[in-house]
């Protein structure tokens, strides 16, 4: 190859790369969310969407504009996720209440290492993605389909059912389109969907409505009271915010609790080891959330250190579920949420003002 031919080849390749980036990049956010729903892991989703784009870039010349680029990218992403699920030891991710019996015993602080745990998804990455005008084939409202309970429930489906339900009931694809992607007949996809829908219906809680954009005034007052109760270590105020049958989970610890009395007993035991908390408002999975920082009793003037990500479910004017993603997994989640691992009182005040839910 002459120098001129080599230069022309590079220019063509460069144009192709730029064309791919221009056409494919707008779909990155929704594809990452799709991978998260498939896998239940924020970190796996990041890796798999990168893998999806690498595979798509390598095959872009063969695509040649046939059909929908978005559909083609979803096909690659879905197959990439299915291959990843098939290759890992644990094919499902859990919250503690899906895997272990409820308890009244205090935890020993040792994470359950034989379980892959569900991770939260930052709302900062949902901007411009959630489509409230999906076609009638989509059975789940866009915000419902990102909630922690939905993602936890869909993880319990076999991988093929999981993919079919996401494509048809969340994204609004037809069964024939899903059959083309997943293989098999339209009738077989409809059969897979029917089984998946039965399983999902058992976990659906109509009392827990997805939050629309910012909290309503009454909800915001509830969240303000939650923050204040934690920062004041006021157990009575905290428990008063909970529904009578509220649940409390804290992955990666296996123990979880139901009801005000059991939750109160846990926090009466747990809070005695802490000198205080600072909570910064954030949002995860379309739900209100907080980033909690702590000080130990023995270092009252130390900076505040990352402790946990709190994700709350609200129902009927109270808190129906509290999920704390705690250490040792918490620091990696703080970074993924764009949150500092350590704050001072001054930095905390400044950051809190910027951390309102989107």
Take residue 199 and report the two structure tokens written for it.
């399983």
Distances in Å between the alpha carbon of 292 and those of 227, 241, 353? 9, 18, 15
The tokens for 60 are 């872009």
pLDDT for 236-247, tens place per residue? 999 999 999 999
Using the predicted structure, report yes or no on whether residue 292 has a pLDDT greater than 50: yes
pTM: 0.88
**DSSP H or E segment with residue 281:** strand 274-284
Topology (CATH level 3) of domain 18-88+119-203: Butyryl-CoA Dehydrogenase, subunit A; domain 3 (1.20.140)
In whole angstroms, give the CA distance from residue 107 to residue 25: 45
Q: Which whole number is the average pLDDT over 196-216?
A: 75
> 310 phi and psi, to 5 degrees?
-100, 130
Name the residue ranges covered by the structural domains of the chain: 18-88+119-203, 217-354
Structure tokens at 358: 């989107």
Residue-wise pLDDT for 77-109, tens only, equals 999 999 999 998 778 899 999 999 999 999 998
Where does the pLDDT of residue 340 fall: very low under 50, low under 70, confident under 90, or very high at 90 and above? very high
Alpha carbon distance 106, 255 (integer Å)? 8
Average pLDDT rounded to a whole number, residues 177-181: 94
Q: Which of 199, 203, 126, 216 is nearest to 165 (CA)?
A: 199
Element (H, E) at 14: helix 3-24
> Residue 136 — pLDDT band, cuts 50, 70, 90?
low
d(CA 254, CA 64): 50
End-to-end Cα spacing for the chain = 54
136 vs 23, residue with greater confidence: 23
Radius of gyration of the chain (CA): 23
Give the up-direction half-sphere exposure of residue 82: CA atoms within 13 A in the CB hemisphere: 17
Residue 315 CA to chain centroid, in angstroms?
20
Question: Which one has a higher pLDDT value, 2 or 329?
Answer: 329
Strand partners for 310 = 290, 324
* CATH topology assigned to domain 217-354: Nuclear Transport Factor 2; Chain: A, (3.10.450)
Alpha carbon distance 92, 76 (integer Å):
21
Q: How far apart are CA 354 and CA 358, in angstroms?
A: 10
SS3 118: coil
Contacts of 94 (CB under 8 A, 6+ apart): 115, 116, 117, 118, 152, 155, 251
Q: Is the pLDDT of residue 62 over 90?
A: no
Confidence (pLDDT) at 55: 96
Chain centre to alpha carbon of residue 253: 18
Could you identify the residue written with the tokens 């980033």?
291
């Amino acid at each position: 190859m002459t120098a001129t031919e080599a230069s022309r080849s590079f220019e063509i390749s460069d144009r192709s790369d730029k064309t791919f980036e221009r056409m494919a990049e707008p779909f990155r956010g929704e594809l990452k969310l799709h991978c998260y729903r498939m896998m239940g892991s924020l970190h796996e989703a990041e890796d798999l969407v990168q893998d999806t784009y690498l595979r798509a870039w390598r095959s872009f010349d063969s695509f040649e504009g046939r059909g929908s680029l978005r559909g083609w990218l979803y096909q690659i992403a879905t197959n990439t996720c299915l291959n990843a699920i098939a290759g890992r030891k644990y094919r499902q991710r859990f919250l503690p209440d899906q895997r272990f019996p409820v308890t009244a015993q205090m935890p020993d602080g040792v994470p359950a290492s034989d379980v892959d745990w569900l991770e939260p998804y930052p709302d900062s990455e949902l901007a411009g993605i959630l489509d409230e005008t999906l076609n009638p084939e989509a059975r789940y409202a866009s915000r419902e389909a990102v909630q922690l309970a939905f993602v936890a429930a869909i993880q319990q489906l076999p991988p093929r059912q999981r993919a079919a339900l996401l494509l048809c009931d969340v994204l609004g694809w037809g069964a024939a389109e899903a059959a083309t992607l997943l293989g098999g007949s339209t009738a077989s996809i409809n059969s897979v969907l029917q089984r998946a829908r039965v399983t999902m219906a058992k976990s659906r809680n109509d009392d827990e409505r997805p939050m629309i954009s910012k909290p309503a005034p009454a909800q915001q007052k509830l969240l303000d009271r939650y923050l204040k109760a934690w920062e004041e270590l006021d157990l009575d105020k905290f428990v008063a915010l909970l529904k009578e049958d509220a649940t409390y989970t804290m992955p990666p610890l296996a123990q979880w609790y139901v009801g005000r009395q059991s939750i109160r007993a846990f926090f009466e035991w747990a809070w005695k080891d802490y000198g205080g908390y600072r909570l910064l408002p954030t949002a995860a999975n379309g739900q209100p959330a907080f980033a909690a920082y702590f000080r130990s009793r023995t270092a009252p003037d130390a900076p505040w250190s990352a402790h946990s990500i709190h994700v709350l479910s609200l129902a009927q004017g109270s808190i129906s579920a509290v999920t704390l993603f705690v250490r040792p997994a918490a620091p990696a989640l703080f970074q993924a949420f764009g949150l500092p691992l350590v704050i001072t009182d001054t930095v905390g005040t400044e950051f809190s003002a910027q951390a309102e839910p989107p």
